[in-house]
Amino acid sequence: MNKTGGRMLKKYLIKILTFLTFFSLTYQAQAESFKIGLSNGWVGSEWRTQMIDEAKEAAAAWAGEGVEIEILVQSANVDVPGQIAHVKNFISQGVDAIIINPNSPTAFDPVFKQAKAKGVLVISTDAEVSSQDAVYVGIDQKGWAAKSAKWLAEQLNGNGKVVAINGFAGHPANQMRVDGYTEVFNQYANIEIIAEVNANWDQAQGQQAMQTLLATYPDINGVWVQDGMAVGAWRAISDAGRDNIIATGEIRRDFFESWKVEGYKTGASVNPPGVMASALNVAVHMMLGKNLKAAATDGVYGNAIYIPIPFVDGTNFDTVYNSMKDEPGYYSYSEALTIADTANYFK
């Protein structure tokens, strides 16, 4: 090879090396990895277990986008101080983001402020929080209750005596739901709420509560009952032969099986376990430096991003039933914002 050819080859190799170096640096710049802590302060239902599982699946899906997510989970029956300890543990472990299903709307303000000072993104889901150092991603719990309450009021033709079976007294999501159905029923002069009880989102307690209500108030016309308890409530109604009562339903597969067999006339708002997965996908976009198209200003605290609330009744029952007929009885119908869906929230 002559000198001219040698110089040309050298230049060519330099260009190739430069390109490969640029490609390597570009790939390294694009490759991202984040550590996310998931805090669940109550494990008293399969819904919460499914919530965590769906969030883990959402994290794994980001690998296809060149983003590696390490998930840390703290899931236990704890009081508010115990869940605050969750958050502090995550901060000390150097997480990039914390996604929390909170046990209080206001108690986390100081610790969320500490998280923000450490550069940790905080997103709550399933229940809103007052802290302006956090963002809420989930359904409007008040709107969730209002949707099914309106359905019940319309089925009653705006007239009747109604009882309500609620979740945990004092839980923020529960209280917003109470506010939601109360506001709707108050719009109907001839609907009277004659009793409200708590059954802690437990199927057996829901059945016992309904049995007691039926014995105490024989003139019940309608029942507004939350997820986790409708299976039990409907069982009590059926056992009592009270097919003249109209009641809301829920989104678990075992309830859908009874709904199909018994031909219930019912309807259910969906609070999908996938809300934490939706929150995680929003969090990753934020950690990638993307900006929201519209600021998170929804909700009672002005820091929420509300996602759609599905509703199931006779019009779409078959579609929903078929989508989960092979799942175990405790499985809840779920929807979640995908990576692509959440990308639409950003510029």
pLDDT at 29: 40
pLDDT at 30: 52
Q: Mean pLDDT over residues 312-338, rounded?
A: 95
Q: 53-80 pLDDT, tens per residue?
A: 999 999 999 999 999 999 999 999 999 9
- Binned at pLDDT 50, 70 and 90, residue 340 comes out as very high
- Binned at pLDDT 50, 70 and 90, residue 25 comes out as very low
Write down the mean pLDDT value for the chain: 91
pLDDT at 2: 53
pLDDT at 131: 98
Q: Which two tokens stand for residue 324?
A: 């989960």
Within 10 A of 196 (CB to CB), how many other CB atoms are there? Answer: 16
Q: Mean pLDDT over residues 15-28, rounded?
A: 42
What is the CA 211 to chain-centroid distance, rounded? 30
Q: Mean pLDDT over residues 285-302, rounded?
A: 96
- Binned at pLDDT 50, 70 and 90, residue 204 comes out as very high
Q: What 3 state SS string does the chain have?
A: CCHHHHHHHHHHHHHHHHHHHHHHHHHHHHCEEEEEEEEECCCCCHHHHHHHHHHHHHHHHHHHHCEEEEEEEEECCCCHHHHHHHHHHHHHCCCCEEEEECCCCCCCHHHHHHHHHCCCEEEECCCCCCCCCCEEEECCHHHHHHHHHHHHHHHCCCEEEEEEEECCCCCHHHHHHHHHHHHHHCCCCEEEEEEEEECCCCHHHHHHHHHHHHHHCCCCCEEEECCCCHHHHHHHHHHCCCCCCEECCCCEHHHHHHHHHHCCCCCEECCCCCHHHHHHHHHHHHHCCCCECCCCCECCCCCEEECCCCEECCCCHHHHHHHCCCCCCCCECCCCCCHHHHHCCEC
pLDDT at 275 over 80: yes
pLDDT at 5 over 60: no
pLDDT at 109: 98
pLDDT at 11 over 80: no
- Of 94-98, 160-164, 182-186, 260-264, the least confident: 260-264
Q: Mean pLDDT over residues 310-324, rounded?
A: 96
* % pLDDT > 90, the chain: 85
pLDDT at 13: 44
pLDDT at 330 over 60: yes
pLDDT at 245: 97
- Binned at pLDDT 50, 70 and 90, residue 34 comes out as very high
pLDDT at 7: 52
Most confident of 2-16, 34-48, 211-225: 211-225
Between CA 100 and CA 248 the distance in angstroms is: 28
- Binned at pLDDT 50, 70 and 90, residue 156 comes out as very high
pLDDT at 31: 65
- Binned at pLDDT 50, 70 and 90, residue 27 comes out as very low
pLDDT at 16 over 70: no
